[in-house]
Structure formats: structure tokens, C-alpha cells
């Protein structure tokens, strides 16, 4: 019987020192729970003063240069409103 192997990608680039990260926020999905803001270890996000379609404030990455790519905001968002990705190097 063959064993099925699940390949788990190494996430070597998640916490690269000096790495650059981009935070995508789908403000229409956000319900304003502020979990992303509260649990960010580097305090990258703040709540916007503007409102989305739901009538709630949504997060914005005010201090993006402090982001270490831990993806804590992405993992804790109950509405899948945040996605974190490394910035592609220019060729």
C-alpha cells in the first residue's frame, strides 16, 4: 500500500528580517471587530475613521514598515477580510 505524503511548504519567508509585506484589506467584508488591530504584535494596523458598506470602521495598515509578516491579523480575522503577502522583488 502506498503512503500518501502531504507536502507542507516551509514558510521561511514569513519572518524575514527586513522583508517587505503587503496587507490587503477587503473593507466590505470587515465587521469592525478590531481583532486584527488588538493582536498585531507590531501595532501595524489602526482602525480607519471612514466607514464601509456595513457602517463599521475597518482596519488600515498605518505602519506597514513595521510588519514582520507573522500573518496574525490574517489568521484571526473571522471574516477573511485580510490577506498578507510578501512584496515581489522587481526584476
Q: Assign 3-state DSSP to the chain and report helix, strand, coil percentages, each to 5.
A: 15, 25, 60
Q: What is the pLDDT of residue 90?
A: 59
Domain-located, residue 14 = no
Task: Give the pLDDT band of residue 91 (cuts 50, 70, 90).
Answer: low
Tell whether the model's pLDDT for residue 8 goes beyond 80: no
Q: Considering the domain boundaries, does residue 25 fall inside one?
A: no
**Given the DSSP bridges, would you call strands 82-86 and 45-51 parallel, antiparallel or unpaired?**
unpaired
CATH of the domain at 71: 3.30.70.20
In a domain, 20, yes or no: no
With respect to residue 16, please indicate whether it lies within any of the assigned structural domains. no
Contact present, 13 and 21 (Cβ < 8 Å): no
Q: pLDDT, tens digit, for every residue of 26-76?
A: 999 999 999 999 999 999 999 999 999 999 999 999 999 999 999 999 999
Is residue 58 domain-resident? yes
For residue 26, give the nearest of 63, 52, 64, 47 by alpha carbon.
52
| Strand 82-86 with 21-25, pairing | antiparallel
What total of structural domains would you count in the chain?
Answer: 1
Q: Is residue 63 part of a domain?
A: yes
Q: Residue 5 domain-assigned?
A: no
pTM of the model: 0.73
| Within-domain flag for 4 | no
> Domain of 63?
30-86
Amino acid at each position: 500500500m502506498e503512503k500518501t505524503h502531504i507536502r507542507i511548504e516551509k514558510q521561511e519567508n514569513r519572518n524575514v528580517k527586513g522583508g517587505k509585506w503587503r496587507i490587503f484589506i477587503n473593507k466590505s467584508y470587515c465587521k469592525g471587530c478590531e481583532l486584527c488591530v488588538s493582536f498585531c504584535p507590531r501595532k501595524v494596523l489602526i482602525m480607519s475613521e471612514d466607514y464601509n458598506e456595513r457602517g463599521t470602521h475597518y482596519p488600515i495598515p498605518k505602519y506597514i514598515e513595521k510588519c514582520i509578516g507573522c500573518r496574525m491579523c490574517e489568521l484571526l480575522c473571522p471574516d477573511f477580510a485580510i490577506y498578507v503577502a510578501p512584496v515581489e522583488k522587481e526584476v
